[in-house]
Amino acid sequence: MNGQKLFSRLWKMEKLRRILHVNTNKVKFNHQQQANFFLLLADLLSVGFSVKEALGFIKAVNPKLAPWIDSIDKRMQKGASFAQSLQQEVKDDLFYQLLLAEKHGNLTKTLSEVGKILTARERQRKKLFSLLQYPLILLGMLGVVICGLILFVFPELKVWQGERQTLPLIHMITLGATYLFTVIFISAVFQWLRWHQMNKEQRLIKICTIPIIGKCYCYYFQYYLTSILGSMLQQGLSLAEICEITQSFDRKSILYIFGNKIMTTIQRDGDISEVVATYSFLPNELIVFMNKGATRENMGRDLIVFANLKFKALTTAIEHLLIFVQPVIFSIIAIIIVILYLSILLPIYHSFQGVY
Whether the CB-CB separation of 27 and 89 falls below 8 Å is answered with: no
* Cα 298 from Cα 304, distance rounded (Å): 10
| pLDDT, tens digit (0-9, with 9 covering 90-100), for 274-305 | 888 888 788 888 888 888 877 888 998 999 99
| pLDDT, tens digit (0-9, with 9 covering 90-100), for 330-350 | 998 888 888 888 777 777 766
The CATH number of 14-115 is: 1.20.81
- Which residues are CB-contacts of 27 (< 8 A; sequence separation ≥ 6)? 67, 68
Whether the CB-CB separation of 128 and 269 falls below 8 Å is answered with: no
* Cα 100 from Cα 94, distance rounded (Å): 10
Instruction: Note the pLDDT of residue 17.
Output: 40
Instruction: Note the pLDDT of residue 307.
Output: 92
* Cα 117 from Cα 314, distance rounded (Å): 10
Whether the CB-CB separation of 248 and 171 falls below 8 Å is answered with: no
Instruction: Note the pLDDT of residue 175.
Output: 76
Instruction: Note the pLDDT of residue 7.
Output: 44
- Which residues are CB-contacts of 219 (< 8 A; sequence separation ≥ 6)? 310, 311, 313, 314, 317
Whether the CB-CB separation of 336 and 142 falls below 8 Å is answered with: yes
- For the chain, the structural domain boundaries read 14-115, 203-323
Q: Which amino acid is at 197?
A: Q
CA distances from 129 to 133, 253, 291 (A): 6, 29, 44
What does the DSSP assignment read for 55-104?
HHHHHHH-GGGHHHHHHHHHHHHTT--HHHHTTTTS-HHHHHHHHHHHHH
Q: Is the pTM of this model over 0.95?
A: no
**Other C-beta atoms within 10 Å of 33: how many?**
16
* Cα 118 from Cα 102, distance rounded (Å): 19
Residues of the chain with pLDDT under 70: 1-29, 105, 160-171, 173-174, 349-356
Instruction: Note the pLDDT of residue 42.
Output: 92
Instruction: Note the pLDDT of residue 162.
Output: 57
Instruction: Note the pLDDT of residue 251.
Output: 87
Going by C-alpha positions, the residue among 288, 280, 16, 294 that lies closest to residue 8 is: 16
CA distances from 181 to 176, 178, 186, 256, 333 (A): 9, 5, 9, 40, 16
Going by C-alpha positions, the residue among 290, 228, 291 that lies closest to residue 259 is: 228
Whether the CB-CB separation of 122 and 315 falls below 8 Å is answered with: no
Going by C-alpha positions, the residue among 86, 87, 105, 84 that lies closest to residue 229 is: 105
Whether the CB-CB separation of 193 and 199 falls below 8 Å is answered with: no
Instruction: State CA 312 to chain mean position distance.
Output: 17
Instruction: Note the pLDDT of residue 173.
Output: 67
CA distances from 57 to 34, 43, 49, 63 (A): 16, 12, 9, 10
